[in-house]
Amino acid sequence: MKKKISEMESQFKQYRLTPQRRLVLEIFLENREKHLSAEEIYQLSRQKEEIGLATIYRTLDLLEELGLLSKINFGDGRSRYELIQDGLNDTHNHHHLICLNCGRIQEVEEDLLNKLEEIVERKHHFSIVNHNLQFYGYCNRCNNGRKDL
């Protein structure tokens, strides 16, 4: 885990990697598969050291600006963040499955829109940089308990 943070240090340029910023990065490294909100990071940080919620918000903005985090909105009124996994220059999103019952978020690693992007670019002479696709429904656990199927 320390090696990964040390690799990220070069992204800070004119910013210092303060203990609070390091703590937020450690939380993301420990929860790589999760999409964390500022409030969830605050709760997780309290188990280690006291850090203010305003500091967490500022840190999340900085980490997103530096290209270390991706900010995602799943329509639940809370911004969530995830660590950019595939290197520091990864700019293409993956897709998400969002359960309407329990709120579980599952990643779909396959980029399902490559072919569609090519068609749109060619037809509309538009250079696509990124896209965002979210599927809403019911996860396997919640599906098994639903009676309306």
pLDDT score recorded for residue 146 = 66
CB 67 within 8 A of CB 84: yes
- pLDDT range class, residue 104, cuts 50, 70, 90: confident
- The pTM of the full predicted model, rounded to 2 decimals, is 0.68
Architecture of domain 1-87: Orthogonal Bundle (1.10)
CATH 3.30.70.1340 holds for 92-149: no
Sort 104 into a burial class: Cβ within 10 Å, 0-12 / 13-18 / 19+.
middle
**pLDDT (average), residues 87-100:** 67
Q: Domains of the chain: which residue ranges?
A: 1-87, 92-149
